[in-house]
Structure 1
Amino acid sequence: MAEPITYELQDVVEMKKPHACGTNSWRITRIGADIKLTCTNCGRGIMMPRFDFNKRLKKVLSSQKDN
């Protein structure tokens, strides 16, 4: 079984589908029952349930613990 992807606050993640502005990288700005994401290109913010976020997450591009 594959190991789940771990993510933290302020990580930049890549989603499976791109945003309407053309990019698919997002910064995590809130973690709870819902995940709040901010587009790194246009700054638009969205919220989605954690379950949906985990299904749509492709990979973590940059992590705060790396900095």
Structure 2
Amino acid sequence: MPMDLKVGDVVELKKQHPCGNHLFEIIRTGADFRIKCTGCEKQLWISRPNLERRVKKVISKEQ
């Protein structure tokens, strides 16, 4: 069953980005996700199974 990830959620990944940050914001969902590093603002595409495997913690967007 897929994880409940929404646009605007911030996720903490197990491995860090080359800039040293662990937190990424979800920009687009679907079969592939577009995520943005909250440190350097670099955007990248990642497949759903790959992202779900790498997620350590989900931080929902604040309402």
Q: Same fold (TM over 0.5)?
A: yes
Is the radius of gyration larger for structure 1 or structure 2?
Answer: 1
Percent identity over the alignment is: 39
Instruction: Give the number of aligned pairs.
Output: 63
Q: 1:44 to 1:31 in 2, by over 3 A?
A: same
Summarize deviations over 1:7-61 as a string: whole Å, max 9, x none: 2111011001000000110000000110110000100001011010110011112
Q: Which runs of 5+ in 1 are unaligned?
A: none
Partners of 1:60 and 1:24 in 2: CA distance: 12
Could you say what the CA RMSD is over the residues aligned between the two structures, in angstroms? 1.7
Partners of 2:3 and 2:29 in 1: CA distance: 14
TM-score (norm 1): 0.84
Which structure 1 residue ranges, 4+ long, deviate > 3 Å from structure 2?
none
